[in-house]
Structures are given as C-alpha cells and as structure tokens.
Amino acid sequence: KAHGKSSLESSLLAGGFAINAMRAAQGMPTAVESSPEAGPAKIAMLDMNLQRHRMAMGVQVIVKDPAEIENIKKREMDITKERIRKIIDAGARVVLTTKGVDDLCMKYFVEAGIICARRCNKDDLKRLAKATGGKVVVTMADMDGNETFDADCLGTCDAVREERIGDGEMLYAYGCQGGGASTVVLRGANEYMLDEMDRALHDSLCVVKRMLESNTLVPGGGAVEAALSVHLEEYSTTLDSREQLAIQEYADALLVI
C-alpha cells in the first residue's frame, strides 16, 4: 500500500513481488540486473541480525595483557566479516533481513555492490521466498557448530530495483522464477482509503478462491431474487386462473427486495 494518486493507479506485478523496504545505505546500487557474466539476481532472505558479533550476556573474559583487548575487538569484527563473506560467496546479490544491519556490515555490502535492506516484514520474506524458490535463513550455524551459508537457500529473479512510490521507496523483484505469487500495489489518497481497498480486495480474492475450490458460485447483489422474479413472471403466464395475479405481485415484490 502506498499513498498518492488514485485507486485507478493500482497495479498488478505479474510474476513479480514488491517489498515495503528500501536500501540500507545510499552507496548501494539502486538496481541489480541479471547478466551473462554475473548470472541471475539472487536474493538472500534472513531472519537474523547482521551486526557486529558480541559475546553473550554472562560470558566473562579474563585479560592479563591490555593488548589482548584489541585482539578481542578485532576478532569480533572478523567474525562479522566472515559471515558477510560467506553470504556473498554463495552468490547473493541482494540481502534482505528482518532484523538490523550495522554500519560495519553495510560497508562490506557497499564495497561488493550488493543491495541490502533491513527491518523487512517477516511475512513478506516468506512470500518472496515462495515466489523466488528460496528459503528464509534463521541461522548460519550447522550441526558441527560451524557457520555456513547454503547457496540453495537463495531465491532467483531477473532483476531487483528500488523505485519511488508515493512518499517513499519500495524494492521490486521482477521475473521471479519460483512462481506462485504476485503483488498488487494499492494506491490511495490516505491510509483509511487504502485500508478499505485492502479489505475489498481481500474479500474479492477469497470469493474467487472459494469458487475455484467448490466449483460453484452463488451470485449476490439481488441476482437470486431477480432470477426468481423472471421465472415467476414466465410461470404466471401459463395460468388461466386468478392465481396468475398473486404470482405476478409476488414476482414484483422480489424486485423491490
């Protein structure tokens, strides 16, 4: 949902997906396109922090040499850098996470020419994973206690672009190769109108879903009453008695209802 313009400007991204998020840093590219050299645009979807690694609460480190403090800080930075490097080496060109990304990680992404977005909606990432054939990664730890990133978890699409919609920016994934999902971008004057459009669209899609599941449809808007009225009008013409008048009046009453 995006403010601005009218409901007539709402659009369907067939084979595409839109996420209400923007680049974490201005130095990142605004678009990632598939190419023969770099291959398709691969997306890493994470449900984890990309921040400088810090020891958990309650962990105590006894330092006898002050120089070791700098080594500890350097190792914390190296752990973060190794995580980013594993994601990049897996082939990711776009990184989306539901949690935070600190300046240290953003620096590595900017240098690698990768689009990164933080604080994404978790449900949006799940749908994007379905659309692109990827998986949402919650941890990089394996059974042996090491950290790895499986390239099979990456989603695939033709292009990812940041485009301005209304008062803000959104990320669009075009040519999603997983299939099974699309996005409708609703445009409206204010939040109340957008909410009403959202409810109306949801109701319409649910009607289509139920109709396809049951293979039956009951029309609304007085269609049933109108059909009964027409049928009774035709039936009344076959009668010769005074019952014809009663049936015609009842048919007219159905139209009033």
pLDDT in tens, the chain (257 residues): 666 666 555 666 656 788 888 888 888 999 988 888 878 889 999 998 887 766 666 777 777 777 777 777 777 777 888 888 999 898 899 999 998 888 888 888 899 899 999 999 999 899 888 888 889 999 888 877 788 888 889 998 888 988 887 777 888 888 887 766 677 888 777 788 888 888 988 998 898 999 999 988 878 778 888 989 999 999 998 888 888 999 999 999 988 86
**pTM score of the predicted model:** 0.70
**Domain covering 2-185: architecture:** 3-Layer(bba) Sandwich (3.50)
Q: What is the Cα–Cα distance from 17 to 25, expressed in whole angstroms?
A: 21
Structure tokens at 102: 């600190």
- Beta pairing, strands 94-97 & 41-46: parallel
Which region, left, alpha or beta, applies to residue 4 given φ > 0 means left and ψ of -120 to 50 means alpha? left
Element (H, E) at 78: helix 67-89
Buried b (16+ CB within 10 A) or exposed e, 86-119: ebbebebbbbbbbeebeebbbebbbebebbbbbe
**How far, rounded to the nearest angstrom, does the alpha carbon of residue 64 sit from its chain's CA centroid?**
51
CB atoms within 10 A of CB 206: 10
